[in-house]
Amino acid sequence: MKNGQARFEYHLNQLQELIAKSSKQKNPGLWLYQNNARTPLFMLEGLAKMYAGIHNKKKFSKIKEHTKLLEDAIGQIDYYDAFAKEFVTNKKIPAGIKNYLQAQSREKIQSLNEILHENNWLGDNADRIEKIRKKLGEADWQDEKEEIKNIHQYYVTAINKILEFINEKNFQFTNVENDLHEFRRMIRWLSIYPQALRGCIQLSSPKTATPKYLSKYLTRAVKTSPYNILPDAGEQKHFLLFDKNRFYALSWLIAELGNLKDSGLKVEVIKEALLQTSKINEKDALAQAYKLAGPGHKTIQQLLDASEKISNTFCKEKNLESLILGVAAVKK
């Protein structure tokens, strides 16, 4: 089995085990959400997204569609459930809002259960995983050296698209979902792929001295994060090397943008709940949402401005262009 197929199998086996266990539960969707099924789905989605850009676009695009559908469904549960849990002991949050979020969580869990059965992940006709395996078995897998070269090019293209996106906006964010969240989503894939690829991307310290401006990103939390410990190379003989400090800097930016995004979504979810549970217009709902979010809570525009500032600094330091050190091979 070629390396590419083996990577898919690793994450597919993890997902298969979770789905098998969930099939014995009264509420499979809830069980999968509570037992981190989102992680192998993210890995499979990332691999399919990348390999669709390298070869067999049609086969891998179909795999991506199915895994993304499940991953998105779990993400919807997490969105409402996380805020429902955060607000449960907050006496300032009206009961109507809490009840709305809990109801939305239940609704999204039911939606996941329906997707699991309608798309044959579970039930009498559960053959989705075997169909994915069949597509994997039919793919034109490349040898290790050729594959690394193509993964390298895929990263270069992905980074260029990110830079085009941010430059077209002139680093001006006006919308949490379309600007902040989309930019973060794009750069986050750069850090997900190395985990999904199971060892063919490794971190390396450059031979030149680390620029002083990178020190602000190299926090203890970033350097000790399990997300920044990449899988062992194993028997891999060809690698794509990343600048370790710039990979850490990328991790810092993803985390900071995530915090700002979540702060903005907190206001948005309260506003949504108010609009759905009371007779109030959008302007008044937003004003009330800021009050309920807590004293001194930043406005959406302030959060977007803060996102612009750190993204602008990060990109102008050319950290994305300097992330890839190149391809390396084990000497025989």
Phi, psi of 270 (to 5 degrees): -65, -45
> Under a CB-based contact definition with an 8 Å cutoff, are residues 45 and 71 in contact?
yes
Strand order from edge to edge, sheet including 324-329: 201-204, 238-243, 324-329
Q: Whole-prediction pTM value?
A: 0.92
Taking the mean position of all CA atoms in its chain, how far away is CA 189?
Answer: 6
pLDDT at site 332 = 54
The list of the chain residues with pLDDT below 50 reads: none
pLDDT at site 152 = 96
Residue 36's contacts (CB-CB under 8 Å, 6 or more residues apart) are: none
List pLDDT tens digits, range 79-114. Answer: 999 999 999 999 999 999 999 999 999 999 999 999
pLDDT at site 175 = 85
- Between CA 179 and CA 181, with CA 180 as vertex, the angle to 5 degrees is 100
List pLDDT tens digits, range 211-263. Answer: 899 999 999 999 999 989 999 888 889 999 999 999 999 999 999 999 999 99
- What's the DSSP call for residue 53? T
- Between CA 104 and CA 110, with CA 107 as vertex, the angle to 5 degrees is 155
One-letter amino acid of 272? E
pLDDT at site 329 = 84
> Under a CB-based contact definition with an 8 Å cutoff, are residues 133 and 125 in contact?
no
For strands 238-243 and 324-329, give the pairing: antiparallel
d(CA 127, CA 249): 42
d(CA 306, CA 205): 30
pLDDT at site 52 = 95
Among 146, 177, 128, 155, residue whose Cα is nearest residue 23: 128
pLDDT at site 130 = 95
Phi, psi of 173 (to 5 degrees): -100, 125
Both tokens of 288, joined, read 């009330």
Torsion of Cα atoms, 57 then 61 then 64 then 68, to 10°: 140
Phi, psi of 242 (to 5 degrees): -110, 150
For 89, counting Cβ atoms within 10 Å of its Cβ (0-12 exposed, 13-18 middle, 19+ buried), the class is: exposed
